Structure 1
Amino acid sequence: MRMILGASTKKHVEKINQLGYTAMVSFNTLEFRKSPISSHTIWIDSGSFTRLSSHKPLATPEKLIRVAQINNTEIVFTPDAMCEPQIIEKTGLDVDEHIRITHENNKYMLEVAEKVNFPTEKIGLVVQGWTVKDYIKSANLCKTIIKNPNQIVGIGTLCRRHSFSEIGEIVDTVKSILPQARIHAFGVKGPALAYIKSKIYSADSFAWAFHRFGDFRYQKICQKTDCKTKCNNCTIAIEIWINSLIKTINGF
């Protein structure tokens, strides 16, 4: 399983690369940049959760692919409509409509990529849902448009679930419909990630960069009492957190 680590600055990307991992950068960080954030290969997240949480429109496939072309991009994900109850409440739409929006964006993302000669194998498609039945519907829609049998397919709305078996069942369900796809688990953490690591190709976490240390972003996890740097902006904190995460995954 590949671990993809969230990053928001060139310094973060380079530290993550130095540690032997690949960085994922949000579209929201890259949107207005006119030059690459780093020379290193990155994955690009669509930033959809943040955008829908703050009542902003989803990024368009055109903008996402433009940003991907500027950067040294391995994978760029489709703008998806996640299905957590708090997001459903914000949009005022139902789960079926979120699945439809995600599917239409998957389809259009591939069309735009072909139009501008961007490799479709670099497009990360997304399946969404809340119940297993929802994921069956979303995965079957995805199956109708998938370009490459081993396409990256991200499973959304997993990261806030607390049941290992529920997460495992969703992953197994999607894999049964898309058996050759390289499955990416968005935001699954710690022991839950350890539980599904043999079932997936990759997973990501932005947790260290946001609230990994609760609201106490000056917690001094490096134990330097005179440190003036926020833990969520510190390359030492990145390394400490990555080591802790990998230990948790491998020790399960």
Structure 2
Amino acid sequence: MTGTLFDVAPLERPARAPRVDVVLPAPRRPDPVDDRPQQAAARAAGVPHLTDWTRDRRPDGDPARRVAFYLGCHQPRWLETAPVPLFIAAQRLAAYRRRGEDMPRPYTPYAIDSGGFTELSKHGMWTLSEDEYGGMITRFMLDMGPPRFVAPQDWMCEPWIVAKTGLSVEIHQELTVENYLYLTREFPHVPWIPVLQGWQLADYARHVEAYAAAGIDLADEPLVGLGSVCRREATAEIGAIVTALHGMGIRMHGFGVKRAGFTRYGHLLESADSLAWSFGARRRQIRLPDCTHAAEDCRNCLTYALTWRETTLNGLRHPKGAEDPHQTALRLDATA
């Protein structure tokens, strides 16, 4: 590695693969979709219809539509029916290929998470090389069409993850920059986004400088991922970090934001995602009264997921933190 930003051993890189032109499939034409889940979700949320997912950038527009909010999901088949953008981990899509199932053809916009937290928390390292990961994403795109964006193989900086890898926050940051540079060079057809990692505000500021030293001005990027925030309890601390980075002109995607945090600083984000609805339904055994599925709770229920998303978006319309009256009956987990 030439021009390393930190004092680490150089990494061996495979020979550059020959450049291949990638022809992506045309976007799927919207077929008639079963809209019963969204109708049921609107009833459960107490609204006439779900919030349109398209952006509304007008100064006097709907505050809930100023940020693109991706619903995290475990079920790739939802890509064929969901009426809102979805955020899905690469591991979930890879499981479809291993089982030999037909890949879903998305009806809705989607983005791909790298699943880095699972990789590092289980193994303390990435088990896929950059070429394996880039090739896997390319195959997904050939089967499914292009996503809105894809996360690179970033290195989270939560203290327990750093302890698992045995490295430092600074080295995690350098490895994140290296991976982004490699993937964008070798797989330029993929819509990668750079990701900022850190724990304290000073860490994130240092990572911004590391990207700049590598020739990347994050203020010029259309979207920059903000990592290591989804499992924090200190919402005010995250808000300070988001505010500072927003002040630098960085357009951010918040990975795994909590509802309380989204209500507080969501207006400063370009986009965000959350799977908290599923964790909350499982932990609190939430089941909507009208659900007919066999499961005891709604952890994999599209109707509940859409209901949770709608009430979460409504928090942007009530920035003082007042609870939506329709939310009282649901008692959705405000800490998720």
- TM interval, shorter chain, is 0.7 to 0.9
3-state SS, counterpart of residue 307 of structure 2: helix
Residue 246 in 1 paired to residue 320 in 2? no
Aligned equivalents of 2:89, 2:193: Cα separation in 1: 14
**Counterpart pick for 1:184 among 243, 253, 256:** 253
Paired residues of 2:76 and 2:92 also in contact (CA < 8 A): no
**Counterpart pick for 2:176 among 94, 102, 115:** 102
- Counterpart position of 2:240: 169
AA partner of residue 146 (structure 1): I
Counting only pairs closer than 5 Å after superposition, residues 228-243 of structure 1 correspond to structure 2 as 228-229=294-295, 230-243=297-310
Change (3 A) 1:247 1:15: farther
Change (3 A) 1:25 1:227: closer
AA partner of residue 37 (structure 1): P
Aligned length, in residue pairs: 239
- Residue 130 (structure 1) shift: 0.8
Gaps of 5+ in 1: none
Counting only pairs closer than 5 Å after superposition, residues 32-51 of structure 1 correspond to structure 2 as 32-34=95-97, 36-40=103-107, 41-51=109-119
Change (3 A) 1:165 1:103: same
- Counterpart position of 1:69: 141
Paired residues of 1:7 and 1:13 also in contact (CA < 8 A): no
- Deviations, residues 69-104 of structure 1 (Å, cap 9, x unaligned): 233211001111111112112112121111111111
Residue 4 in 1 paired to residue 78 in 2? no
Aligned equivalents of 1:75, 1:66: Cα separation in 2: 12
Computing the radius of gyration from Cα coordinates, the structure with the larger value is 2
Aligned equivalents of 1:183, 1:225: Cα separation in 2: 35
- Residue 47 (structure 1) shift: 0.3
- Counterpart position of 2:90: 27
- Residue 182 (structure 1) shift: 2.6
Paired residues of 1:187 and 1:203 also in contact (CA < 8 A): yes
Instruction: Please identify which structure carries the higher strand content.
Output: 1
AA partner of residue 305 (structure 2): I
Change (3 A) 1:214 1:32: closer
- Counterpart position of 1:151: 222
- Counterpart position of 2:271: 202
Paired residues of 2:73 and 2:88 also in contact (CA < 8 A): yes
**Counterpart pick for 1:79 among 153, 160, 163:** 153
Change (3 A) 1:57 1:93: closer
- Residue 6 (structure 1) shift: 1.0
- Counterpart position of 1:138: 207
Aligned equivalents of 1:176, 1:105: Cα separation in 2: 26
Aligned equivalents of 1:151, 1:226: Cα separation in 2: 42
RMSD: 2.4
Change (3 A) 1:226 1:110: closer
3-state SS, counterpart of residue 248 of structure 1: helix
- Deviations, residues 37-59 of structure 1 (Å, cap 9, x unaligned): 33233100000001111116424
Aligned equivalents of 1:60, 1:231: Cα separation in 2: 36
- Counterpart position of 2:17: none
Aligned equivalents of 2:129, 2:245: Cα separation in 1: 25
Change (3 A) 1:74 1:99: same
Aligned equivalents of 2:301, 2:93: Cα separation in 1: 20
Gaps of 5+ in 2: 1-66, 320-336
Paired residues of 2:76 and 2:93 also in contact (CA < 8 A): no
Aligned equivalents of 2:294, 2:265: Cα separation in 1: 38
| Identical-residue share of aligned pairs (%) | 27
- Residue 32 (structure 1) shift: 4.5
